[in-house]
A and B are shown apart, each in its own frame.
Chain A
Amino acid sequence: DGGITQSPKYLFRKEGQNVTLSCEQNLNHDAMYWYRQDPGQGLRLIYYSQIVNDFQKGDIAEGYSVSREKKESFPLTVTSAQKNPTAFYLCASSITSGSYEQFFGPGTRLTVL
């Protein structure tokens, strides 16, 4: 079964702690993306990776970090420097960064207490 998975679905953390969100895909896609979604708003791009061992900042990268050591994995770390981390986080992938359709995972809802 091909697809993109995110874990966990719900995540709670205390303020000041770093937390890492998982994203895995078995679609053999080169490009992967992280978005943040706040209530009543659209998708804002945090980071994206066009290929293994390479990634670029999106529109709201401050307070976040990523790595792309394997093609199928693109974990996102929400650091304590992120001032308002409570949100719904979506991971996506596409065949290449210049290709058309992006496939989305089910999302992780992060709540910082």
Chain B
Amino acid sequence: GESVGLHLPTLSVQEGDNSIINCAYSNSASDYFIWYKQESGKGPQFIIDIRSNMDKRQGQRVTVLLNKTVKHLSLQIAATQPGDSAVYFCAERGTDKLIFGTGTRLQVFP
């Protein structure tokens, strides 16, 4: 079946450094991908999305890159801050629902 996976369960970065969170997906026909941020004890919040006709999309301090050749998605966070500490999920759009990955925990240390 369809699945979305993540390479690293935990990522530790120093404050001020850039963070890169990776995600692999299996359905080459997926046309839309989304990144969510989930802080402890809260619901996921939308960060950024990208359609399959794009390779890159930038937001405020975040960039999503899509490599359809290898079915890989990444989220880059510039100048990582303590408030960025959370679990990050990628998701791909299925037929009538989103398919979520396991998540990567980002830990930011001073």
Chain A interfacial positions (CB closer than 8 Å to B): 33, 40-43, 45, 48, 50, 58, 90, 92, 97-98, 100-107, 109
New A-B pairs, 6, CB < 8 Å, besides A48-B96, A97-B97, A106-B42? A33-B97, A42-B100, A101-B34, A104-B43, A107-B43, A109-B41
A-B contact pairs, 8 of them (CB 8 A): A33-B97, A41-B102, A42-B102, A58-B97, A100-B32, A101-B34, A102-B98, A107-B42
Taking CB atoms, residues of chain A closer than 8 Å to B98 are 102
Residues of B within 8 A of A97 (CB): 96-97
From A43, which residue of chain B is reached at the shortest CB distance? B100
Chain B interface residues (CB < 8 Å from chain A): 9, 32, 34, 36, 41-46, 49, 89, 93, 95-98, 100-103
Q: Determine if A101 and B49 form an interchain contact, defined as CB atoms under 8 angstroms apart.
A: yes
**Pick from A45, A100, A107: contact of B49, CB under 8 Å:** A100
Majority SS at the chain A contact face: loop
Q: Evaluate contact between B46 and A101: CB separation under 8 angstroms.
A: yes
* Count of chain A to chain B residue pairs whose CB atoms are closer than 8 Å in the complex: 44
Name the one of B34, B49, B89 contacting A42, with C-beta atoms under 8 angstroms: B89
B44 to A104, Cβ gap below 8 A? yes
CB-CB under 8 A from A42, the residues of chain B are: 89, 100-103
Residue pair A106, B49 in contact (C-beta under 8 Å): no
**Which A-chain residue is minimally distant from B101 (CB atoms)?**
A42
**Also in contact, A90 and B97, with CB within 8 A (given A42-B89, A43-B89, A100-B49):** no
Contact B43 A48 (CB under 8 A): no
CB of A90 within 8 A of CB of B103, answer no
